[in-house]
Structure 1
Amino acid sequence: MRLLFSFVQVLSVFLVVFYLYCRSPAFRPLKADWPRPRGKVRLYLVFSLIGILGNFLGIPVVGGEAIVNARAVGSTLAGLLGGPVLGLMVGVTAGIHRISMGGNAALAGAIATTLEGVMAGFVHLALNRNPERLVARWVAFATTFVGEIVHMGVVLLVVRPYPQAVEVVKFIGPPMILLNPVGAMLFMTVLLERQREQDQVAAASSARALKVAERALGLMARGFGPEVAAEIAAIVKEETGVGAVGVTDTERVLGFVGMGEDHHLPGTPIASPFTRQSISGNAVVFADGIDQTYNCRVSNTCPLNSVLIVPLQLDGAVLGTVQLFEPRAHRFLNMNKSLGRGIGALLSSQLLEARYQEQKNLLVTSELKLLQAQVNPHFLFNALNTIIAITRTDPARARDLLVHLSHFFRKNLKRNRDLSTLQEELEHVSSYLEIEKARFADRLVVETVVDPTLLSLELPTFTLQPLIENAIKHGLSARLEKGTARIHAYRRDGLAVIDIEDDAGTWSEPSGGGGLGMKIVDRRIKDLMGDAYGITIACVPNQLTRVTVKVPGQKVTA
């Protein structure tokens, strides 16, 4: 009983050390990082240290020939989270360290620890398609429990003389079989709680970025000038809580709010080399105040010490920057770093929307830009409201949808060529469809059937997105029951044919200026590929609307 109590104390110290590490900036618990090479290296280092620490904190028994230890917790969790190879590597590392400590049971312990890591790795492979079960507490408990029973069997097989093996198992078996599974379960609990905290922080960051975007929506339509810049700077500062926020164009300060606003005056030329670097390189620049310090070139008494500078871009060209500053007394939070990047991306999207709205009535040479602006503001509002609603119930899903929203607008920013491949068109609409499926929940079903040999087919940029948006906005959105949108690409009579269908059957001939998106798509196909090609529309009322795109069927090597 005294040995059992002593081992409980060891595990308690173990858990305190692990908890303190989990609270440190070095800890990266995000599950999305684990399969990546850098994530696996991090897991290897962490769990190898846990295994080695388990050896150091172990309690010698049987005259020092064996130790009661928590080494298996490291190799088991490594296998569960990283797979057999990682479990093997951590087990071997901790096992070699155990052998270096000596004792008749050292080799058996090293073999058993390696086997436990590999066994947990096979559990990882069995449950990898269900990540929630993989990190469940009971899985960690059960896997470690079985592993420790195997450990005792290895001791009985390897340690000689056999009576000493029995004595070793008698001493180390009960505490390790009973308490190591509990320790693994508690370790997994700490890991999951830290993950949950990270998810909540990310969700809060996403919600704040969306709040900034929602409040700034429409400002860009008034032009990117000093008045709008001052309003944007005030909104960003209020939502992020940083020390100061500045907005510049490529030459001068347009707006500045917060600490240092007495000398960072609107209209003054850009003085910071960091800002020049961000503009010239079209890149995010971060001076953390430690390795790189923001040194104000305007005033020696400026309290600002660190800065995040995010370029605002339109069609790949930098129009200005958004700058987030912190004073010497405050550390720049990682959340504010990612938040600043997200705000920059969303404001860039709004710049794009504002610029393209001005080009709606241009001739054919401006129609590509016009189609890029056809992303209806209501879609952005609906997306924002959908994500904000989901943030309350499913932060991970909300974060995924924010990534889709960012990808959608980023592709809008970058797509400035006349022609795109069918694969690029499908990738462009996939993020849009993910957001719409989240908005309509189970009322929207999307079916995509594409001949693989057509993926490299070239067609005018922004051919699919307006047609799919039209099918959802003017067709399926009005239905109370489940609706289906279909994308079908195939070859027929030497042509490449793409059908966009919905089962609402609500299409009617547009009047006045309606149907602008379809008209532009049809005209651009004809302008770029000939009058023999374009779009046709067929409708069976209340049953089906089919928009058919016909373009030349290029010969593609499968």
Structure 2
Amino acid sequence: MFNLLILLTERLGLIMILAFLLVNMRFFRNLIKQRTKKSQIWLTIIFSLFVILANLTGVEITNSHEVFMPALITSLTQADSIANTRTLVITTASLTAGPYVGMIVGLVGGLHRVLFSNFSDYFYIFSSIIIGLVIGKISDHVKQGNLYPSNGWVILLGITADLIQMGFIDLFRGFALVRLIFWPMVILNTIGTFLFVEILKTYMSNEQQLRAVQTKDVLELANKTLPYFRQGLDMDSAHHVCKIIKNYTNFDAVGLTDQVNVLAHVGAGSDHHIAGEPILTDLSKSVITTGQRRIVYSATAIGCPQPHCPLAAAMVVPLEVNHQTMGALKVYFTDARKLTVVEENLVTGLQNIFSGQLAMGLAEEQASLVTEAQIKELQVQINPHFFFNAINTILALIRINPDKARHALMQLSIFFRSSLQNGQATQITLQAEKQHVDAYMDIEELRFPNRFILTYDLQINDQVLVPSFCLQIFVENAIKHAFKKTNQPGHIKISARPVADNQVQIQVQDDGCGMDAQLCQQLGQQPINETNGTGTALYNLNCRLRNLYGNQSTLQVQSNSAGSTFTIVCPIQIVKEAQPYADSHRG
């Protein structure tokens, strides 16, 4: 028994090394998390190969109970047996991929065991399938929403799997064989199962921590680079941005370009990649021309004309505003092995953030050329306080819920992108306006959980055109002012329905504290200066309504102690190729 334990330990070591290499692959870890049909098929193939390897690398036991370990077991007499790690693989497959994958892997392992033993011991097929089913079903029941059971359950299920196997062996091959192999197989297969799952847990945990660090780095970069990008994409701002990026990352060089020239280059190669001169590399020229990011792993692919350029790998991404490439962000490495998936994800995040910041800078530059009322309107659309409050909220989420932090970052990007795109239009679709409000409310929900409840009652086509940001102004007004005097959740309802004369009535209602009657009458008619806010946004909206629709539109404000109602009536205008609208509710 002791000799068998030592020999099986050697075989277990081989399986564990292969398992470690497998878990080290991002592809495999993603399969474990996805649980799609495609991922289940891949996991079945991978674990089936493992279970065949477990059979081939077993320890052979003769009819006289002598044990020896060939390099690979390719055939077996009907009188001989093997001790192996097959149940370890089946158990692990069931724990990580579910009962159906476990059953198929068990079937493959059992069939393979029967094939190389001259079609004897058919009971291994049934025992292996039963192990896969039982372990998988119990595992799914005790996971409680996690990817894996607790350590105690993993150990218990590992023991259970071998007990099932031993029961079949005792029934069909006799107790003498069970007595020889029981403790070595139960101990080692259970330890192996525990180690496999523990390795997987460790990698998943490290991945989560890495994502949190990446998100934190991106957000800190966003905070530090925002003042420079708001100045526009010029040599001075680009130089400061490149220095900040290089200080926060492991990039060997960082560069920024406009459509023609190098604006800044910090790090390796700065002796010939000089700010103010035309772009040298074919790689950067290609990205700016096509608007598609590129990743290369050789100096030849970078295309620098300088023969002694130290740059050996690069990732270049376009910086876009309103679907137009304004320039490129370039990161370089002197060793191609440094350019990993981690760096790719980080640069992609920076690309999204910087494109948004450039758009904000251009919007502010355009705002300086229009009237004061238009500037006020743009400030409502792109509120720096809202941006920084949202950033601080996301920073607080990074350590406790990285996935939620990434979702919030995406919603913030959607909010500002729609603000900038829709801000160029006098009218947008009701669908686009709703998406903008939803992004805003998702961010506010993170700042004030369960504080506001937004619902919709839309009885018109979602392709109806409405004044840009008309809903956003009312919703933001309710969030800021309507619920200050209550600790109860505030309700906001947005409704839209057709009315007479081919018009649409849009209402935003809240159940807040209401407004003073005199103030209510003045809202929309003139800018109101109050200590708790101004009516400039509503005044600008009313002016836009008059300019767009003349006497065909109205803005009404009603308020009492039970809440406020803002109503717009305007002509129905629908964009071409409109699709039917399905009522939706949000809460």
- TM-score, scaled to structure 1: 0.83
* Amino acid across the alignment from 1:72: T
Structure with bigger gyration radius: 2
Partner of 1:347: 354
Q: Using the alignment, how far apart are the partners of 1:54 and 1:527 within structure 2?
A: 78
Q: Using the alignment, how far apart are the partners of 1:549 and 1:371 within structure 2?
A: 21
Q: Using the alignment, how far apart are the partners of 1:407 and 1:123 within structure 2?
A: 42
More off after superposition, 259-268 vs 166-175? 166-175
Compared CA separation, residues 281 and 540, structure 1 to 2 (3 A): farther
After superposition, what is the alpha-carbon deviation per residue over 1:469-528, rounded to whole angstroms, capped at 9, x for unaligned?
Answer: 33323445x568354243443547564544353635468645259444444555556666
More off after superposition, 196-205 vs 271-280? 271-280
User: SS where residue 212 of structure 2 aligns?
Assistant: helix
Once the two structures are TM-superposed, the CA of residue 53 in structure 1 deviates from its matched residue by 3.2
Compared CA separation, residues 540 and 55, structure 1 to 2 (3 A): farther
Contact 1:374 1:517 in 2 (8 A): no
Query: Alignment partner for residue 439 of structure 1, among 441, 447, 451?
Result: 447
Query: Alignment partner for residue 540 of structure 1, among 548, 560, 566?
Result: 560
Contact 2:11 2:57 in 1 (8 A): yes
Partner of 1:197: 206
Partner of 1:311: 318
Contact 2:31 2:43 in 1 (8 A): no
Equivalent positions of 1:37-436 (< 5 A) are 39-40=39-40, 42-61=42-61, 63=63, 65-102=80-117, 107-122=122-137, 130-132=144-146, 134-153=148-167, 164=173, 166-289=175-298, 293-297=301-305, 299-328=306-335, 331-360=338-367, 374-412=381-419, 420-436=428-444
* Amino acid across the alignment from 1:11: L
Q: Using the alignment, how far apart are the partners of 2:365 and 2:287 within structure 1?
A: 27
Once the two structures are TM-superposed, the CA of residue 193 in structure 1 deviates from its matched residue by 0.9
After superposition, what is the alpha-carbon deviation per residue over 1:396-448, rounded to whole angstroms, capped at 9, x for unaligned?
Answer: 43333333334444545665666555444444333433332222245x23343
Partner of 2:528: 511
After superposition, what is the alpha-carbon deviation per residue over 1:249-280, rounded to whole angstroms, capped at 9, x for unaligned?
Answer: 11111111111111111121123222122222
Once the two structures are TM-superposed, the CA of residue 198 in structure 1 deviates from its matched residue by 1.0
Q: Using the alignment, how far apart are the partners of 1:36 and 1:530 within structure 2?
A: 55
Compared CA separation, residues 306 and 133, structure 1 to 2 (3 A): closer
Compared CA separation, residues 28 and 458, structure 1 to 2 (3 A): farther
Partner of 2:490: 484
Once the two structures are TM-superposed, the CA of residue 150 in structure 1 deviates from its matched residue by 4.0
Q: Using the alignment, how far apart are the partners of 1:522 and 1:82 within structure 2?
A: 58
* Amino acid across the alignment from 2:349: G
User: SS where residue 471 of structure 1 aligns?
Assistant: helix
Contact 1:316 1:413 in 2 (8 A): no
User: SS where residue 283 of structure 1 aligns?
Assistant: coil
Contact 2:259 2:288 in 1 (8 A): yes
Number of equivalenced pairs: 545
Contact 1:525 1:533 in 2 (8 A): yes
Once the two structures are TM-superposed, the CA of residue 187 in structure 1 deviates from its matched residue by 1.6
Q: Using the alignment, how far apart are the partners of 2:380 and 2:120 within structure 1?
A: 71
Q: Using the alignment, how far apart are the partners of 2:136 and 2:286 within structure 1?
A: 46
Contact 1:77 1:120 in 2 (8 A): no
Compared CA separation, residues 355 and 134, structure 1 to 2 (3 A): same
After superposition, what is the alpha-carbon deviation per residue over 1:74-114, rounded to whole angstroms, capped at 9, x for unaligned?
Answer: 34443444344433443344444333432666543333333
Contact 2:48 2:105 in 1 (8 A): yes
Compared CA separation, residues 51 and 466, structure 1 to 2 (3 A): farther
Compared CA separation, residues 220 and 445, structure 1 to 2 (3 A): same
After superposition, what is the alpha-carbon deviation per residue over 1:112-139, rounded to whole angstroms, capped at 9, x for unaligned?
Answer: 33343344554576578x5326454344
Tell me how large the CA RMSD over aligned residues is. Answer: 3.8
Contact 1:445 1:483 in 2 (8 A): yes
Gaps of 5+ in 2: 64-75, 583-587
User: SS where residue 127 of structure 2 aligns?
Assistant: helix
Partner of 1:14: 15
User: SS where residue 301 of structure 2 aligns?
Assistant: coil
User: SS where residue 338 of structure 2 aligns?
Assistant: coil
